[in-house]
Amino acid sequence: MARRRIRTRSAVLLILILFGGGRILLVLAQDNALRPISGVVLAEDTGKTIANVLVRVSSPAIDMRSARGRRQGLFDALTDANGRFIIQVPQNPKISLNAFARGYEEAAGMWMSGNWTFHGVPFPSGRTQEFTMKLRPALYAAGVVVDESGHPFVGAAVEATLRGENFTGYVAFDTTDANGRFEVFDFPLKPEAYRNTKLLGQLTFQNPTKLTSVIKNVYTMSETERTNLYVILGSGHEIKGVITSTAGHPSAKTVVEAVPADKAAAQRTSWTDDEGRFVIRGLPDGEMSVRTHSSAFDQQARKTVRLAGADAEVNLRMDLVVLKNQPKSVSLFGMKLADMTPELQTVYDLDSPTGALILDPGVDHLRLGIGDLSQGERFWIVGGREIKNLQEMVAELLRVDAIAPPGDPNEGCHGSIRVVYAYRRGGTNTQRLKLTDEDIAELKSIRLTVTL
């Protein structure tokens, strides 16, 4: 029988192999051929091309803000003398792009706002389609982190923020490399004041076993100082002990927190082992609150200790949590939420008695696309307004969703509502919430049932 050559352009080949007894083995073979992504990088203020820019493509698409380290699905190239790049990547329905250049904000934008122009874009359908990436001028900071012996410290978390009175805006994140080096591209040249408060450009360097180091304001530094930072992470002290339940049994896999009275010092967290033992390192001298709670927040304990040039041992036995006023739970987007109260603030060790408390994030909350939510966190801003309770949260979600795109970036619009939630251990997360038609219908249905 004559053979025919079959030519296919499909990315997936289906191969059928017949066996005796009528059995069929289906083999899927993925066509992993690489395809070009090309374009040019320009300075937004001058329109001139920028050479030697690191351009990164993710295929499939991911959120590329502060996507620094090497990982699967990321493909890199440097722009040439004419600012041009070409990167070979496997084809996927959607890709994302980012670019890093000294003196310019990364193409994906600051963490707290983001530039979504190059996020989740369709894979180019033809060879002539190119990307033009315009980078906004920004303040660049870089340096090296070492330990007390002067050796490069690998894996230190670097956090860049804008800070003001009652305001924290996340700018970018990085992790020190094998040489202890880090880079931050995204500090704005002149940060806008927040509620008439001057904002500071802060860098925070952290590791679970070391003292936290903070540079309070990069805007007061010269360019030479800001781009040649030398940061030392000291060891500090440790607290160890045993946690037991209300019944007196070792409490395994239980979170333990050490919270310094000094607000500038970082909190530290550890988990107990199967025998209820824990160790928390990297703690400064001074007064310290050691606290623990069960996973359901129905048991808790705390003790205040003072560290003075030495380590300490703290053993805690938890007590039952008895609420005088049980929170009224409201189901929304698969979560269980409640109005914040001073009593709930104490139980969950939060920094404010207002907002909407997450009692249960639900099993499908990741579909909201705003991060991994946890019990005890609270929503406190929707759009551009602080919310006091669930009623205000629902009202603001409906109001902002009714705004036609593009809207105010500090508020959002239909398909991209700005929401901010606060972590239990400090810090906030600003995200963009996209609601489905079912979500909107749910909001409208409960709008009249939630009350102050």
Q: What is the mean pLDDT of residues 176-192?
A: 93
Tokens linked to 158: 């670097």
Give how far the C-alpha of residue 20 lies from the chain's centroid of Cα atoms, to the nearest Å. 54
Q: Is 416 exposed, middle or buried (0-12, 13-18, 19+ CB in 10 A)?
A: buried
Q: What confidence score (pLDDT) does residue 219 get? A: 96
Q: What confidence score (pLDDT) does residue 146 get? A: 98
Span 235-276, pLDDT tens digits = 999 999 999 999 999 999 999 999 998 877 888 999 999 999
CA-closest candidate to residue 319, choices 336, 338, 343, 303: 303
Q: What confidence score (pLDDT) does residue 295 get? A: 85
Q: What confidence score (pLDDT) does residue 195 get? A: 58
Q: What confidence score (pLDDT) does residue 30 get? A: 45
Q: What confidence score (pLDDT) does residue 8 get? A: 35
Is residue 213 pLDDT above 60, yes or no?
Answer: yes
Most confident by average pLDDT, 119-123, 142-146, 258-262: 142-146
CA-closest candidate to residue 425, choices 331, 320, 293: 293
State the Cα–Cα distance between residues 276 and 255, nearest whole angstrom: 10
Q: What is the mean pLDDT of residues 328-336?
A: 94
CA contacts within 13 A on the Cβ side of 143: 20
pTM of the full structure: 0.72
192-196 long-range contacts, Cβ below 8 Å, gap at least 24? 193/164, 194/162, 194/164, 194/167, 194/169, 195/164, 195/165, 195/166, 195/167
Span 309-322, pLDDT tens digits = 899 999 999 999 99
Give the helix/strand (H/E) hosting 422.
strand 416-422
Q: What confidence score (pLDDT) does residue 128 get? A: 67
Domains and CATH numbers, the chain: 34-135 (2.60.40.1120), 139-232 (2.60.40.1120), 238-320 (2.60.40.1120), 330-446 (2.30.42.10)
Most confident by average pLDDT, 125-129, 274-278, 368-372, 445-449: 274-278
365-373 long-range contacts, Cβ below 8 Å, gap at least 24? 365/333, 365/334, 365/335, 368/333, 368/433, 369/431, 369/432, 369/433, 369/434, 370/419, 370/421, 370/429, 370/431, 370/432, 370/433, 371/421, 371/429, 371/431, 373/335, 373/421
Q: What confidence score (pLDDT) does residue 23 get? A: 39
